[in-house]
Amino acid sequence: MIKRRDFVTCAGAATLYQAASPKLLAQTAAPAAPPPASASASTTMPMASAAEAGTAAGPADFTLHIAPAALEVAPSHFVSTTAYNGSAPGPLLRMREGKPVTIDVINDTDAAELVHWHGLYLPPEIDGSEEEGTPPIPPGARRRYQFTPRPAGSRWYHTHAMAVGDLHRSTYTAQFGFLMVDSGSNPGRYDQELFLALREWEPFYTDQPMDTDDVDVLGPQPERPAVLNTSRSGGLEANSQLFSVNDKALGAGEPIRVREGTRLLLHLLNAGAIENRTIALPGHEFHVLALDGNPVPTPRAVKVLTLGPGERVDAYVEMNRPGVWILGSTFDPLRRAGLGVVVEYANHHREPRWEAQPGEQWDYTVFGDPASAAPGRPPPDHTIEMVFEQVPSGAGQFDLWTVNGKPYPHQGELALEQGKRHRLIFRNRTDDSHPVHLHRHRFELVDVNGKPSSGILKDTVIVPVYGRVTVDVVADQPGLSLFHCHIQQHMDFGFKALFRYA
């Protein structure tokens, strides 16, 4: 399939690995666990808003400085961006479920910013969405957030500013980081823990047809219209030619160093703004434990993982195939353009090896309850249909994206009833797949393109090309909640809706 997304110019990029300097940077290889103390704050600056100000003026548990940064993503190739504390990802915010935390955020940029705490149950005033009523942090200001983290699991934080036509803003920048909410329960045995974010850099707009690694075009496409509207040509789309895991393109950083017989626990995140990514580690399997930080009913091993922007996968890997391997994109042009990291067994030194991964496709439903064991699910109290459509060039240079026929804002028609079970039916009538995210809630997958599912809880789900995904959400978080596609350009041009409690 040819689309404008995910085109990669191979010229130059193919040599990225070979050209990589042996410079050692520990970002990728070290178990990333900066202790809270390393991020403690001065409290001398005035609070930006009394509303969020803590009652005590003590030090924060964590401090995030939003500021311009230059990241050396490939050897001598610096990316000018905006980051948290100068790094990508920003500091790991590790906290305990139910134990209150204080986070100071200082905006050292010249634009208003918002930090969204993705996957947490937080009040709308601090969730980090302006649409919900969170106040932006003005340029030069500091704001203190205090909350009690829950639920436990792999969460993350990122900017929720709008980019609109500006590729130097919002999730196109390096403003993202991991946020782990630990519970008292035993996470299982592992020897090494890694936090790996998939990223693209230096995005640009293009109107040229491009190759794509979208595999879900092979799906059943239950929402494909009988007659496709091809009367207008599409608008510009964001794309990239430089990719990385964390802040290093493949070969540019230290390898992940492992020993045979150990177990590697991976916390994976697609922190990109543009497209779903599919990755593999040849010779090894990912034992998937959790999706979007929520333990799955049926943990199992798979050869490939697909993550839409905003999604997380927690999986362990048994290190039992000694050698030097590439953990990276299954789409050759993306991997050659940096989307990967080298995994090196002790005492093994040779060119990193990649092998194609034919035949396996990502399927959420394999991690659900087996039908025989599925607990009875109560019928929904309400059903809400959400139809996603695209208006080619409907926003000037860009396409417009609509939910139920209208771009954001809507007239308050998406109402939730407190305590009730709502069945949301996502109908994707476009030839893009959309990772849609609901703030402040988790939903249960009920059906993915005709495959029933039970017991999988998520906050972001890919609705495939011309596909249909049904989820149940129990309305237990009063207040406005934003729903949107996590592809930045789609969100910027209409693909948003607010849920309110009736």
Question: Which residues contact Cu ion by CB under 5 A?
Answer: 434, 485, 487, 490
Q: Which is nearer to Cu ion, 81 or 428 (CB)?
A: 428
**Closest CB 3 distance from Cu ion, rounded Å:** 13
Nearest of 502, 487, 501, 484 to residue 131 by alpha carbon: 484
Q: Which is nearer to Cu ion, 157 or 401 (CB)?
A: 401
Find the helix or strand (DSSP H, E) in which 333 lies.
Answer: helix 332-336
CA distance 109 to 99: 31
Q: Is 361 helix (H, G, I), strand (E, B) or coil?
A: coil
**Closest CB 58 distance from Cu ion, rounded Å:** 42
Q: Which residues contact 134 (CB under 8 A, 6 or more apart)?
A: 114, 124, 125, 126, 127, 128, 160
Confirm if 30 and 354 have CB atoms less than 8 A apart. no
What HEC string does 231-259 produce?
CCCCCCEEECCEEEECCECCCCCCCEEEC
**Closest CB 35 distance from Cu ion, rounded Å:** 37
Q: Which is nearer to Cu ion, 137 or 497 (CB)?
A: 497
Tokens encoding 5:
């997304």
**Closest CB 487 distance from Cu ion, rounded Å:** 4
Distance of CA 359 to the CA centre of its chain: 25
Using alpha carbons only, give the angle 467, 471, 475 rounded to the nearest 5 degrees.
Answer: 145
Tokens encoding 392:
């080619």
Q: Which is nearer to Cu ion, 423 or 434 (CB)?
A: 434
CA distance 229 to 138: 43
**Closest CB 494 distance from Cu ion, rounded Å:** 10
Nearest of 177, 271, 219, 245 to residue 431 by alpha carbon: 219
Q: Which is nearer to Cu ion, 65 or 116 (CB)?
A: 116
Q: Which is nearer to Cu ion, 242 or 487 (CB)?
A: 487
Longest dimension (CA), the chain: 63
Confirm if 479 and 440 have CB atoms less than 8 A apart. yes
**Closest CB 196 distance from Cu ion, rounded Å:** 23
Q: Does the N-terminal peptide bond of residue 282 adopt cis geometry, omega within 30 degrees of 0?
A: no
Q: Which is nearer to Cu ion, 292 or 432 (CB)?
A: 432
293 residue type, one letter: G
Q: Which is nearer to Cu ion, 196 or 487 (CB)?
A: 487
**Closest CB 401 distance from Cu ion, rounded Å:** 6
82 residue type, one letter: T
> Which position's Cβ is nearest Cu ion?
485
**Closest CB 257 distance from Cu ion, rounded Å:** 37
Q: Which is nearer to Cu ion, 245 or 487 (CB)?
A: 487
Neighbours of 98 (CB within 10 A): 13
* DSSP sequence for 26-63: TTTTS-----GGGG-----SPPS-TTT--SS----SEE
Q: Which is nearer to Cu ion, 267 or 490 (CB)?
A: 490
**Closest CB 436 distance from Cu ion, rounded Å:** 7
**Closest CB 428 distance from Cu ion, rounded Å:** 9
